[in-house]
């Protein structure tokens, strides 16, 4: 029974998409100033079966997020141990080279000035 209902819903969706594509073709033709040469399929709307209300759905299958203790859920997803500070060796190398370059430039400028 669920398969036939799913098949019916899929066919309804296909009909809706076909109708939307026909409308898009008509709009494109109107914007381009050309007549609509290919008339699209007419949109057939089947009556929609009554769907259960959200209250009925929630009562039948409550979400674990609604029934669980928020602190317990948060405890599962958080790590109590702090992460160690990460320093990249490449950053230290660039810092050291920049410092040496600046120091060397300063020494050279002083030497060149008093020479």
pLDDT in tens, 58-98: 556 666 666 677 777 777 776 667 767 777 788 889 999 99
In a domain, 83, yes or no: no
Strands, E assignment, 25-112: none
* Cα 14-17-23 angle, rounded to 5 deg: 145
How far is it, in rounded angstroms, from Cα 62 to Cα 72? 18
- Give me the number of domains the chain comprises: 2
Q: Where is pLDDT greater, at 25 or 45?
A: 25
How far is it, in rounded angstroms, from Cα 89 to Cα 60? 56
Sign of the alpha-carbon dihedral angle for 94, 95, 96, 100: positive
Q: Radius of gyration over alpha carbons of the chain, in Å?
A: 35
Mean pLDDT of the region 10-36: 85
In a domain, 93, yes or no: yes
In a domain, 35, yes or no: yes
Q: pTM for the full model?
A: 0.30
In a domain, 33, yes or no: yes
The whole-chain average pLDDT of the chain stands at: 77
Parent domain of 100: 89-115
Mean pLDDT of the region 5-30: 88
């Amino acid at each position: 029974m669920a398969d036939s209902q799913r098949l019916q819903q899929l066919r309804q969706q296909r009909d809706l998409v076909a109708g939307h594509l026909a409308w898009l073709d008509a709009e494109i033709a109107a914007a381009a100033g050309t007549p609509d040469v290919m008339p699209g399929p007419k949109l057939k709307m089947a009556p929609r079966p009554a769907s259960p209300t959200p209250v009925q759905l929630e009562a039948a299958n409550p979400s674990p997020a609604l029934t669980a203790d928020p602190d317990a859920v948060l405890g599962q997803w958080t790590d109590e141990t702090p992460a160690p500070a990460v320093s990249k060796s490449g950053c230290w190398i660039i810092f050291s080279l920049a410092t040496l370059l600046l120091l060397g430039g300063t020494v050279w400028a002083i030497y060149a000035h008093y020479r």
